[in-house]
Amino acid sequence: MNNPTFFEVQKWAFSCIKGNGGTLEDVDYLICGQMVWDKTQLLMNYRTRIDDKNYQELQEKIELYNQDYPLQYLIGYQDFYGLRLKVTKDTLIPRPETEELVDWILNDNSKNENYDVLDVGTGTGAIGLALKSIRSNWNIFLSDISEPALKVAKENAQNLNLDVSFSTSDLFEKIEGKKDIIVSNPPYISENEKIYMDKSVLNYEPHQALFAKNNGLEIYERIANESGKLLKQGSKIYMEIGFLQGEAVKKIFKDSFPNSEITLKKDINGNDRMICVKI
């Protein structure tokens, strides 16, 4: 019996996932990821029959999708700021709102300066690699406490041919030298917020990169208390924050750096999402 065409696969897959809230766009994402195609190539191959290997693997991925397994983990990548980044279960999946943090840093700092920039808790390397792709003259340092995550970041840097440095470090423990910019998208979710989270995030993304003690504020407190050795006059710290944490994070840094200039910034949806501390 002949295998189905890709058009028939598309219809079958959608019928399988729509009851779980899946969309046709999700199906196309899965098929294109499986075949390493873009949408145009999918359209051009509608009448082509899928081979046994890819058909079996796609069926397995559809089954996992219906168990809330994230699409990005199923196909192994996520696009971020024009870069295609490998993602694994050891890394958070980069989010679109974090692209706004990259925008802010780029717009807020001169492209002509050779800044030393540290991306703390880099995960896939998303923020640091995005910055390096636009500001090739900046010296970018990527650090993470997780060696498996840092391995993914290194692979992404290599695939994108971006020259950055790496360090396995618990925040600033093994970081040397003064930095002009420190950026972080740290764990900031409180344990008691689990009941509000999507199953796909809660069940499959690394908890070490999601949750923090003290109502989600622990890592901000540590950054405020431990970053001093790396800062010089005029250094800036940029961080993503939870949408209800703005004033609390602002107070944490004002207590540690009384003379600093602190700016909260909203995301495209009007929620507090980013903060900058200028020393």
Six-digit token pair at 212? Answer: 């923090």
Angle between helices 52-65 and 6-17 (to 10 degrees): 20
pLDDT digit string, tens, across residues 180-230: 999 999 999 998 888 888 889 999 999 999 999 999 999 999 999 999 999
Q: Are residues 105 and 166 in the same domain?
A: yes
Mean pLDDT taken over the chain: 96
pLDDT in tens, 132-165: 999 999 999 999 999 999 999 999 999 999 999 9
Map 139-178 to HEC letters: EEEEEECCHHHHHHHHHHHHHHCCCCEEEECCCCCCCCCC
pLDDT for 100: 97
For residue 124, say whether it is annotated as part of any ligand binding site.
yes
Residue 74 lies in a domain: no
Structural domain count of the chain: 2
The whole domain housing 232 covers 81-278
Position 196 in a domain: yes
Question: Domain check: are 48 and 142 in the same one?
Answer: no
Is 86 in the same domain as 214?
yes
- At 50-71, the pLDDT tens digits run 999 999 999 999 999 999 999 9
Q: Does the annotation place 122 within a ligand binding site?
A: yes
Shared-domain flag, residues 135 and 234: yes
Q: In terms of domains, do 139 and 24 share one?
A: no
Average pLDDT (256-264) is 97
73 labelled as ligand-binding? no
Distance CA 120, CA 231 (A): 14
**Domain match, 125 and 240 both:** yes
Residue 125 counted as an annotated binding residue: yes
pLDDT at 262: 98
One domain, residues 102 and 189? yes
Do 33 and 114 have their domain in common?
A: no
114 annotated as belonging to a binding site for a ligand: no
In a domain, 1, yes or no: no
Is the model's pLDDT at 88 over the cut of 80? yes
Q: Is 270 annotated as a binding residue?
A: no
What are the tens digits of pLDDT across the range 19-41?
A: 989 999 999 999 999 999 999 99
